[in-house]
A and B are shown apart, each in its own frame.
Chain A
Amino acid sequence: MLKQKESLIAGWGNHPAEVCHVYRPDRVRDITELLAAGGEHNYISRGLGRSYGDTALNAGSGVLLHTQFARFLHFDEEQGILECEAGVSFEEIIEHFLPRGWFLPVTPGTKFITVGGAIANDVHGKNHHVDGTFSEHVLDLKLLLASGRIVHCSREENADLFYATIGGVGLTGVILSARFKLIPVESAYIEVDYIKARNLDHAFELFAKTNDQYQYSVAWIDCLSKGDRLGRSVLMLGNHAPASKVKQADPLRIKKKPKLNVPFNFPSFVLNQLSIRAFNFGYYNVLNKNAVGKIVDYDTFFYPLDSIHNWNRAYGKKGFVQYQAVFPPETSRQGLTEMLKRLSESGRSSFLAVLKSSGEQSKGLLSFPFKGYTLALDIPVHDDGLFPFLRELDEMVMAHGGRIYLAKDSEADPATFAQMYPTLGKFQQIKASVDPNNVFSSSQARRLGIVEESR
């Protein structure tokens, strides 16, 4: 029988940290034997732990690492269809397929995530407005159910289970493998235009004007600006650069850059009000003019933070939370204005605040983004006052018909969640049909009442 390691683990925000029983199976039958033996109350899968809160935690119970399930199973060179085990990371996909002219159809702001994690959170990228979420490029997947049975799910086969699994935060079963489409690219570079927006209205205007010209778009907001300047930001708009515009011997490769590392948790005063202010101000002012037609490599464009390993430690031992909300188009302006105001009034400034326009909702039952605008914030945990504050934000988001993202949440309550996700009931019904005893559960799922407390 597989051995477990009792470990204190956390999501990327380092908050909360919980003692879990960590298993590292290396064959599928290790998992089925484990489930059959019933040694733990329940289990949750864990990819690379890049969710911020307690999505991939299971206090006092089983956590299944997917490290050993990281193999490519098949690649169709003609159509760019890749089949791989769920533990394969986006980094490895890029490493092996970009030099052959293929890139990920959708990628979040870090490449250190797994295919399983990308499906279970139905992640989105800077191209949500045109290409939707990652799962929309998934053709099918293999799911190991609580019963030990392995089922094949797609839009045609076991469709209900498919739509419950994408965005289903690991609660329907263990995703073993998936088949998805890569996109053909001519180079490893992105042609980017940087445009400054004076304030939130201007940013909206620019998004609306540019959305159909750029595959990728995102805005970095200075969250300390107030009044007329509230929401002033830098829009980064990009498209894959054609090979002809890249002045490199091999346009599909980029130079390896040295990695920086944050070796330990910074003391919390490092990221105080002042340094956050300086950072936000600095970023906006570095670009003194709009910059057009810049060619940057994919790493710089998609994964600016990945070049600093363990950057999350810069927030200190107490960690930080990410807070991401999406608002529908009708209430976006009002909602975001209120949110930014609250944030700057509260003195809980964000180091990073990212605004983007999102496209149509995917059919994943607990999938996050829908049409409108989303704002993501990093807020350091300095004191207990943060959590009441986040609940205020939740209220506000709810009042505007918005919702928050499970991959980032570590504080919401069941009522809030149920209101934000009207298809929760349907999800629970499907879960009950494949996992009546809640063999799959997580700290977050219990906190939010997605899964009944069963122990």
Chain B
Amino acid sequence: MKNVLILGATSGIAKALAYYFAEQEHNLLLAGRDLEELQLIAQDINIRHGVEVTVHKFDALDYDGHADFFTTCLEAAGELDGLVLAYGYLGDQKRAENEFAEARRVIETNYLSAVSVLNIAANYFETRKDGFLCVLSSVAGDRGRQSNFMYGSAKGGLSLYLQGLRNRLSKSNVSVLTVKPGFVDTKMTFGQPGMFLVAQPEAVAKAIYKMILKKKDVAYTPFFWRYIMLIIKSVPERIFKRLSL
């Protein structure tokens, strides 16, 4: 690995991953909407670890711009060794049930835009015959729950898309890692009631990095979420539909 592109690099887990990549001497391309914030992160990483970090404007919903965006990144780096897709939009379930605009934003950001940009990246990595895609999905995509199924359904769709992509790219030596984080101590969870076993982003980043190296397919992080989700997935629908989760 050498040059890694991170989409949504200001989010808690992505930021921690960026620092971890840099510590392992990878150069970084940080992309997102808030260029000012990205610039701060880039400078800091550069001063700490001496690796090259460039920042790039990326708007998930600007589908037409994705191809150009990817080309610009390639030109800046020469070549790409991996891509991390870390952005997402939690949205407001209640609002999404009443205003289609909100539902659409949740679905487009979490699913459609990912398809658009990952299609482009997949083609590049397929011809290059090497590299990795690491995509942050969610445990919310494992089972629809009344409290967040708008977000969950988009992430669930994303997880399925990644399964297919993994199937397609496996013969090209390109790994596709689907990450399903549990509760992580980020802005999203800080001060939110009902959080338990909240993991530190640094620990999560380290675990994800290991999974990328090992070319794993699906990673729950922290690992025990695999078992939590196993239980949640195995509750019969007949009972599940009556629970208020």
Q: Which residues of A contact B (CB under 8 A)?
A: 2-5, 22-24, 26-27, 71-75, 96
Instruction: Decide: A73 and B190 in contact? CB cutoff 8 A.
Output: no
Cα distance A5–B44 in the bound complex, in angstroms:
28
Considering the complex, give the chain A residue whose CB is closest to the CB of B187: A26
Instruction: Decide: B44 and A71 in contact? CB cutoff 8 A.
Output: yes
A residues within 8 A CB of B48? Answer: 72, 96
> Least Cβ distance of B8 to chain A in Å?
14
A residues within 8 A CB of B192? Answer: 3
> Least Cβ distance of B226 to chain A in Å?
28
Instruction: Decide: A73 and B40 in contact? CB cutoff 8 A.
Output: yes
> Least Cβ distance of A91 to chain B in Å?
13
> Least Cβ distance of A120 to chain B in Å?
22
Instruction: Decide: A71 and B41 in contact? CB cutoff 8 A.
Output: yes
Q: How many residues of B contact A (CB 8 A)?
A: 12
Number of A-B contacts (CB under 8 A): 31
Partner pick for B191 among A4, A71, A73, A75, CB 8 A cutoff? A4
Cα distance A5–B192 in the bound complex, in angstroms:
8
Considering the complex, give the chain B residue whose CB is closest to the CB of A95: B48
Considering the complex, give the chain B residue whose CB is closest to the CB of A88: B44
Cα distance A228–B189 in the bound complex, in angstroms:
60
> Least Cβ distance of A387 to chain B in Å?
34
> Least Cβ distance of A257 to chain B in Å?
21
Partner pick for B40 among A4, A71, A96, CB 8 A cutoff? A71
Instruction: Decide: A27 and B44 in contact? CB cutoff 8 A.
Output: no
Q: Which residues of B contact A (CB under 8 A)?
A: 34, 37, 40-41, 43-44, 47-48, 187, 190-192
Partner pick for B43 among A2, A5, A23, A72, CB 8 A cutoff? A72
Cα distance A255–B37 in the bound complex, in angstroms:
35
Considering the complex, give the chain A residue whose CB is closest to the CB of B192: A3
B residues within 8 A CB of A23? Answer: 191
> Least Cβ distance of B202 to chain A in Å?
12
B residues within 8 A CB of A26? Answer: 187
Instruction: Decide: B190 and A5 in contact? CB cutoff 8 A.
Output: yes
> Least Cβ distance of B180 to chain A in Å?
23
Cα distance A96–B47 in the bound complex, in angstroms:
9
Considering the complex, give the chain A residue whose CB is closest to the CB of B185: A24
Cα distance A73–B192 in the bound complex, in angstroms:
31
A residues within 8 A CB of B44? Answer: 71-73
Cα distance A71–B38 in the bound complex, in angstroms:
12
Can you report 28 A-B residue pairs in the complex whose CB atoms are below 8 A from each other? A2-B191, A3-B190, A3-B191, A3-B192, A4-B191, A5-B190, A5-B191, A22-B191, A23-B191, A24-B187, A24-B190, A24-B191, A26-B187, A27-B34, A27-B37, A71-B40, A71-B41, A71-B43, A71-B44, A72-B43, A72-B44, A72-B48, A73-B43, A73-B44, A74-B47, A75-B47, A96-B47, A96-B48
Considering the complex, give the chain B residue whose CB is closest to the CB of A72: B47
> Least Cβ distance of A90 to chain B in Å?
15
Q: A27-B37, A96-B48 are in contact. Are A74 and B191 (CB under 8 A)?
A: no
Question: With A24-B187, A72-B44, A73-B43 given, can you name 10 additional A-B contacts, CB distance below 8 Å?
Answer: A3-B191, A23-B191, A24-B190, A26-B187, A27-B37, A72-B43, A72-B48, A73-B44, A75-B47, A96-B48
Considering the complex, give the chain B residue whose CB is closest to the CB of A5: B191
> Least Cβ distance of B183 to chain A in Å?
14
Cα distance A314–B129 in the bound complex, in angstroms:
58
Cα distance A72–B45 in the bound complex, in angstroms:
8
Q: A27-B37, A96-B48 are in contact. Are A74 and B190 (CB under 8 A)?
A: no
Cα distance A126–B127 in the bound complex, in angstroms:
62
Cα distance A2–B192 in the bound complex, in angstroms:
10
> Least Cβ distance of A115 to chain B in Å?
14
Cα distance A71–B48 in the bound complex, in angstroms:
9
Q: Which 5 A-B pairs have the closest CB atoms?
A: A3-B191, A71-B44, A5-B191, A72-B47, A72-B44
> Least Cβ distance of B152 to chain A in Å?
21
